[in-house]
Amino acid sequence: MRLKNKVALLTGAAAAIKGELMGFGGATAHLFVREGAKVVLTDILDEMGERAAVTLREQGAEAIYLHLDVTSKTDWVHAIDATLDAFGRLDILFNNAGISYPVKVEDLTEEMWDSELAVHAKGAYLGTKTAIPAMRQGGGGTIINTSSVMGIVGSPTSPAYSAAKGAIRTFTKTTALQYAKENIRVNSIHPGYATTPLTQERFSSPEVNKMLLDRTPMGRLGTAEDIANGVLFLASDESSWMTGAELVIDGGMTAQ
């Protein structure tokens, strides 16, 4: 029970239904409740998110679903308030919502650029800003931001995604420095090529699949569970002396 009595809010977490392909948020939610946490699933995919919360409750978990557009300050305020109303505290925030437009720079529209930076970088900023006062009330907390290996090295396919994930990487470090003395830890995870609902269609292309495997020394794509195990570690007291750190989970890709 590594998260016993902790309350966690997860974004991009609607895909959390056993037997279906889960995203990082969904797989993490299952690990969190297994370890004793109460979870707040959030997303814009409301029907899926509601089903996911029901299935978790049927398994004995304390779980609710909330609609949350991470680019909306109003939605964030509502989500934090609803979390406190339901569970009385907030200990863990997993900023995980994401989108991706794999195109060349010349084909990247301003709308695509703005959308990626808003969902990833602005979403992490708004979530962090809104959650910190609630965490402070409870004596501290931990924030985990989903960056990417493409926030460390360049992406051959997705320029806005890489820019947004790089922003999350350094925003994480700055926030960690500002709040370390308040017992609020902030770390980033950096997944490599993993199969999720966001990537499944593109990664199933034989040509793309071969390219990804050729770039991954361990010779397989990651799973949502691979990433969720790292998030659980960063959410737990086992990482109590880690803040501003980058946890890379990529099958060796960035070691090259």
Rg (CA), the chain: 17
Could you please report the per-residue DSSP string of 64-125? EEEE--TT-HHHHHHHHHHHHHHHS---EEEE---------GGG--HHHHHHHHIIIIIHHH
Spot the catalytic one: 65, 101, 125, 161. 161
Could you please report the per-residue DSSP string of 44-73? S-HHHHHHHHHHHHHTT--EEEEE--TT-H
**Closest of 27, 7, 32, 31 to residue 16, by C-alpha:** 27
End-to-end CA, the chain? 37
Structure tokens at 28: 């993490």
Amino acid at 145: N
Task: Please state, in angstroms and rounded to a whole number, the distance separating the CA atoms of residues 131 and 91.
Answer: 9
Q: Which helix (H) or strand (E) holds 189?
A: strand 184-191
Task: Please state, in angstroms and rounded to a whole number, the distance separating the CA atoms of residues 112 and 123.
Answer: 15
**Active site annotation includes 161:** yes
Q: Dihedral through CA 237, CA 139, CA 121, CA 47, nearest 10? A: 80
DSSP 152: T
Task: Return the active site residues.
Answer: 161
